[in-house]
Amino acid sequence: MCRVNRSTVRFGFGSACLRLSCGSASTGFSCKLAAGDSSIAAPSRIGSLTVMAYDYPPEKMSVYLSDDAGSNITYYALLEASQFAKHWIPFCRRFTVEPRSPAAYFRSPSSDQLSANGKNEELSAIKKLYEDMKNRIETAHELGRISEDIRSKHKEFSQWDSYISRQDHNTFLEILIDRTTRKAVDAEGNALSTLVYMAREKRPQYFHNFKAGAMNALIRVSSAISSGRIILNVDCDMYSNNSESIRDALCFLMDEERGDEIAYVQFPQNFENVTKNEQYSSSLRVISEVEFHGLDGQGGVLYIGSGCFHRRDTLCGKKIGREVITRWSENSGIDPNGGIYKPEELKKLASCSYEENTEWGREMGLKYGCPVEDVITGLSIQYRGWRSVYFNPRRNAFLGVAPTTLLQLLVQHKRWSEGDFQILLSRYSPAWHGLGKISPGLIMCYLPYCLWAPNCLPTLYYTIIPSLCLLKGISLFPEVTSPWFIPFAYVIFCKYAYSLAEYLWSGGTVLGWWNDQRIWLYKRTSSYLFAAIDTVAKLLGFSETAFVITSKVAEEGVAQRYEKEMMEFGATSPMFTILTTLALLNLVCFLGAALTGFASGGAGFFGSMLLQAILCAVLILINLPIYHGILRKDEGKMPISTTVASTVIAVSACTIFVSF
């Protein structure tokens, strides 16, 4: 079973749930959609197919898809996928297909190789089945409804007659494939994994706690049906890229020496649509290839919300050496060990009122009240004495979709940095609550992420004040001839030389590193700034925690510009106003100082103000995509309203500063 090269592994340090079994215990897998919307029906069905096709005994695995919007089109997509799976899974088994996402496999060289080996007839047949399924789903999506012919064949669609909206609907729960029945077999007569669709009840008068609430409802329902001991959660826009990931994770969890200490095994988040030079630095390359391995060496990596194998009892509050909390199953009328169950009883576990006066969201399940429910949940598990493992195999275990516009990226990082800052100021803060519960090294590893948001302040200072002082002729740094210039030059050279080497070692390109520096600046001066403001406002009671879903659906024009690595603006946003203002401010300051300096012979410009001039010039080079966006004519250009507002602010700031 264990195929991991243990010499390369170091212990210590959404969405869907996958539960596996060790030995004879049952294993279940549940795939959770973080935002149930008919527009993500395609990714959800592909993710379900890939996990159903894992190289693992199907009778020990159950797949659950949680659709938090309760879309009948998403259910229809899963229904179609369940029928296609009866042909796709035998095909994967027969020809050792990899990857097991149909769309990814059909466009890969492996598909062409199979055709060249004389298997073109089988390949064409399975392709036709896939295209037919895809067309039927896309037709339903375009119509925005399920046809009467399909509704007449599947009576379960009548549940949606009471559907009001994504925020107001009953619990929808259907077991599409039940491995306890004779019908749960594929086209060759082999057993299939249980497949379940669930949309928890949502009502306007009940706060639904976003992704964490959906995950907790899914944990309860899936525990009642199959009660697997291991849970894998995968977000709706990701799919499994390695059919042996289960076995890799179990090598850690079943390790004879230290397996009992491990609460979860986290795989990195990788993306299939990342361009060569990573215009938006979406892959988080250095974090995945360097930093997370450092956390692993200190006792445990962060839980990052997807591609993570959990012990189910640790999510239910178990501590090292103590019994798991099971109060949630008392008086539920349901056998928590996968016994006989009734649909109506199961629906109670996903009702709005079930968690009232319980420990769910506090001591059990994923934590509530934080935009990064995954990070705070993983941290609380580590506080209870558990360790976690980070495993980054050569073949990516999971692939997803990276943001394709700048605004998508900035909104995503605003949520991440806001959540991490809230953790720092909460009762789960590693700065003080972690003392004595996790290692000092792990505390230091968590703190840089928790301090993302407040780091906007020094960054804003260095992007504004030196440039304004350059314009007015105020020197802030030592002259080139001064001995004090050497420490500045040394720090600048070493910092960026190390950063470049680290990025190249992680598999990136030089231009990719430059793009990474640009995005680093953009995040700190926009996303982190708004995150810090919102966190302080929440502490003062002026706002509430919000969970903003990052859209991954790209229009054709946006996708084309993304492939060409053209930065996408297009929409108006306060973040764009800040970025454009800073870009124009530095341009005005540099040009003004240059004209003044050359008029006076250049002595000041190339002498006492050299470092400031270099800093301002680098900021101008970094902001070239913004200047280009202002001049562009396509739909991805910088909005005229943003350009005008930023120009007025930048010129006014320069004028006011010089006049004092």
Contact at 8 Å (CB) between 211 and 48? no
Phi, psi of 373 (to 5 degrees): -60, -25
Instruction: Please give the structure tokens belonging to residue 387.
Output: 């360790």
Nearest to 536 by CA among 603, 456, 449: 456
Half-sphere exposure of 404 (CA within 13 A, CB side): 19
C-alpha–C-alpha distance, residues 324 and 319, integer Å: 7
C-alpha–C-alpha distance, residues 591 and 411, integer Å: 32
Nearest 5°: CA angle at 557, between 556 and 558? 90
Sheet of strand 270-271: strand arrangement: 239-240, 398-400, 270-271
Phi, psi of 503 (to 5 degrees): -65, -45
C-alpha–C-alpha distance, residues 437 and 263, integer Å: 15
Handedness of CA 102, 107, 110, 115 (dihedral sign): positive
Angstrom CA distances, 607 to 486, 593, 624, stand at 15, 13, 26
Asked if 67 is an active-site residue, the reply is no
C-alpha–C-alpha distance, residues 87 and 408, integer Å: 37
Report the 10 Å Cβ neighbour count for 138.
13
Asked if 68 is an active-site residue, the reply is yes
Query: What residue spans of 154-209 are helical by DSSP H?
Result: none
Instruction: Please give the structure tokens belonging to residue 327.
Output: 């109060």
186, 248, 296, 374: the active-site residue? 374
C-alpha–C-alpha distance, residues 548 and 534, integer Å: 13
Half-sphere exposure of 88 (CA within 13 A, CB side): 29
C-alpha–C-alpha distance, residues 172 and 160, integer Å: 8
DSSP-assigned letter for residue 178: -
C-alpha–C-alpha distance, residues 643 and 579, integer Å: 10
C-alpha–C-alpha distance, residues 598 and 295, integer Å: 51
Contact at 8 Å (CB) between 73 and 40? no
C-alpha–C-alpha distance, residues 412 and 640, integer Å: 25
Packed helices 510-522 and 485-505: angle between N→C axes, nearest 10 degrees: 120
Residue 589 CB partners (closer than 8 Å, separation 6+): 467, 468, 470, 471, 616, 654
Instruction: Please give the structure tokens belonging to residue 630.
Output: 């202002």
In DSSP terms, 308 is beta-bridged to 233, 266
67, 68, 248, 534: the active-site residue? 68
Three-state DSSP class for 181? coil
In DSSP terms, 390 is beta-bridged to 266
C-alpha–C-alpha distance, residues 517 and 500, integer Å: 10
Residue 431 CB partners (closer than 8 Å, separation 6+): 424, 443, 447, 450
In DSSP terms, 364 is beta-bridged to 360
Element (H, E) at 440: helix 440-450
Residues noted as catalytic: 68, 374
